[in-house]
Amino acid sequence: MDHDNDISRHYARGDLLDAILAGMEKMGKTPETVTIDDLAPVDEFHIGGREASCEFLSQLSLSSGDHVLDVGCGIGGASRFTVKEFGCRVTGVDLTDEYIETGSTLCHWLGLNTSVSLVQGNVLELDFADATFDKAFMLHVGMNIPDKVALGSEIFRVLKPGAVFGIYDIMKCGEGTVTFPVPWASVPEGSWLASPEEYKNALLESGFEIICERNRGKFALKFFADLKARASAADGPPPLGLPVIMGAQAPMKIQNMVENVARGIIAPVELIARKV
């Protein structure tokens, strides 16, 4: 599909692993000594970083016996953190080959390759049997998926009855025109923002019940303000961070996203749903 190729091209940079290695070298780290916390600034490709991951994942009642699906896993940062924090087994799926290849290498470096499996694929056409997973989550993924009902239906299919599905996405929360480029799209044609109501309706139509909803707009603005303050106080950019993932346009993309959030047009929103 052209849409899939467009999304993959948007995210791929061609030298991602080399860029991560270069950042690690500046930190005095090697593949043998790097830790999951060292990689957090580049691993957590969503608003709020590790703090947001902790707060979001803690709502999913994860336990050590769970097999969890990471929908649109990127380079697998949330997958690895979930394994480390909750002792789960995680399978991550992402469209972008470079993300899967890079993430699998990072899992190997951290000794998590037996607990985390990253596979290339389309989350609307998952190559898993019905009722495979105990839980599922996605972080900042739905903005690249036009058909939210198809997404909800496919996740519903692969989850066991009673399983929880957590979403932490950027959603359309107010009037106005989004300024591009942003981290998930360089042009409007690559963005499929939807409102929380549209997400909830899609989940309900797919067979889920909504457990809770939380708008994280204020949290996002504080996160970005703190990020800016740390950057101003530091002597140059950090060795590892979102620019490593996003490339040369990172400052403009982040600036536009902050402005869009500040104007109330978009906000990161958590939705927790359960398969009925």
Tens digit of each residue's pLDDT (9 = 90 or more) over 47-98: 999 999 999 999 999 999 999 999 999 999 999 999 999 999 999 999 999 9
pLDDT at 234: 77
Predicted confidence band of residue 2 (pLDDT cuts 50, 70, 90): low
- The answer to whether 241 and 145 have CB atoms below 8 angstroms apart is no
pLDDT at 237: 73
What's the CATH fold of domain 2-273?
Rossmann fold (3.40.50)
As a whole-number percent, the residues of the chain with pLDDT over 90 amount to 84
189 sits in which H/E element? none
Nearest residue to 241 (alpha-carbon basis) of 26, 33, 58: 26
Nearest residue to 80 (alpha-carbon basis) of 57, 103, 63, 46: 103
pLDDT at 270: 98
Predicted confidence band of residue 1 (pLDDT cuts 50, 70, 90): very low
Instruction: For CA atoms 203, 2, 98, 228, give the dihedral sign.
Output: negative
> Of the given ranges (87-96, 162-171, 233-242, 262-271), which has the lowest mean pLDDT?
233-242
Q: Kindly give, in sequence order, each residue whose CB lies less than 8 Å from that of residue 39, ignoring residues fewer than 6 positions away.
A: 20, 77, 80, 106, 110, 240
As a whole number of angstroms, the distance between CA 193 and CA 176 comes to 12
- What mean pLDDT is predicted for residues 23-42? 95
> Of the given ranges (3-7, 93-97, 202-206), which has the lowest mean pLDDT?
3-7
Predicted confidence band of residue 242 (pLDDT cuts 50, 70, 90): confident
Instruction: For CA atoms 260, 262, 264, 266, give the dihedral sign.
Output: positive
Q: What proportions of the chain, in percent to the nearest 5, are helix, strand and coil?
A: 45, 20, 35
